[in-house]
Amino acid sequence: MKKLTEAALLCALALLILLLPACGSAAGGDADLSALYAQMEEKFELPAMSALSERQLERYYGIDTAACPQLVVMQCDDGLRVDEIWLIQAADEAAAEQLLALAQSRLDQLAAETENYLPDQYAVVRDSRALRVGSYVALLISPDAAEMEELFRGAF
């Protein structure tokens, strides 16, 4: 009986050791946002996009870049397309909530700009995503936003 109990304890301990890494990643473990964007470039047909500078992010979007350990913010080079991708790690929960509000504000702004003038781009904006996983925030404005969301959520 004693050997059976010891074997059960060893099995339980081994199972616990195997499950510990999964617990950390579900809570929002570290993700390489540059690598995540590179995966998006590989998987989806993104238009030509350029990174926005810290100054542009602060001035035009109100993003406090000092509160973002990692950020990848790309915008379509074609002025008639709305494609835009934000992948941002916030320093803390409060900063993440603020970034999510800024992302939603950006979606609202683009919806207002495109609704009457660019109906095809309005449809893209309408189906886009502003989301948060732990301290990570994403704004996914793309015809592939739903699939990009899966990739983003899968990174944690």
How many Å from the N-terminal Cα to the C-terminal Cα in the chain? 42
Print burial letters for 16-55: b (CB count within 10 Å at least 16), e (below 16): eeeeeeeeeeeebeebebeebbebbeeebebeebeebeee
Number of domains in the chain: 2
**pLDDT confidence of residue 58:** 96
Rounded Cα distance, 9 and 98, in Å:
46
Alpha-helical regions (H) of 44-144: 54-61, 93-114, 119-126
pLDDT digits (tens, 9 = 90+) for 117-132: 999 999 999 999 999 9
User: At a CB cut-off of 8 Å and minimum separation 6, what does 73 contact?
Assistant: 51, 52, 57, 61, 63, 84, 85, 86, 87, 88
Q: Tell me the whole-structure pTM to 2 decimals.
A: 0.80
pLDDT digits (tens, 9 = 90+) for 67-106: 999 999 999 999 999 999 999 999 999 999 999 999 999 9
Rounded Cα distance, 61 and 52, in Å:
10
Shared domain check, 70 and 134: yes
Residue type, 99: L
Give the domain extent around 92. Answer: 31-154
Shared domain check, 94 and 75: yes
**pLDDT confidence of residue 3:** 52
Across residues 35-48, what is the average pLDDT? 97
**pLDDT confidence of residue 24:** 37
Q: Which residues are bridge partners to 137 per DSSP?
A: 88, 132
Across residues 1-21, what is the average pLDDT? 42
Across residues 134-151, what is the average pLDDT? 97
Shared domain check, 66 and 25: no
**pLDDT confidence of residue 16:** 36
Shared domain check, 72 and 22: no
Shared domain check, 11 and 66: no
**pLDDT confidence of residue 30:** 84
Is the pLDDT at 18 greater than 70, yes or no?
Answer: no
pLDDT digits (tens, 9 = 90+) for 31-40: 999 999 999 9
Shared domain check, 50 and 13: no
Which of left, alpha, beta for 129 (phi over 0: left; psi -120 to 50: alpha)? beta
Is the pLDDT at 26 greater than 80, yes or no?
Answer: no
Across residues 3-27, what is the average pLDDT? 40
Structure tokens at 10: 């060893």
Structure tokens at 29: 């473990």
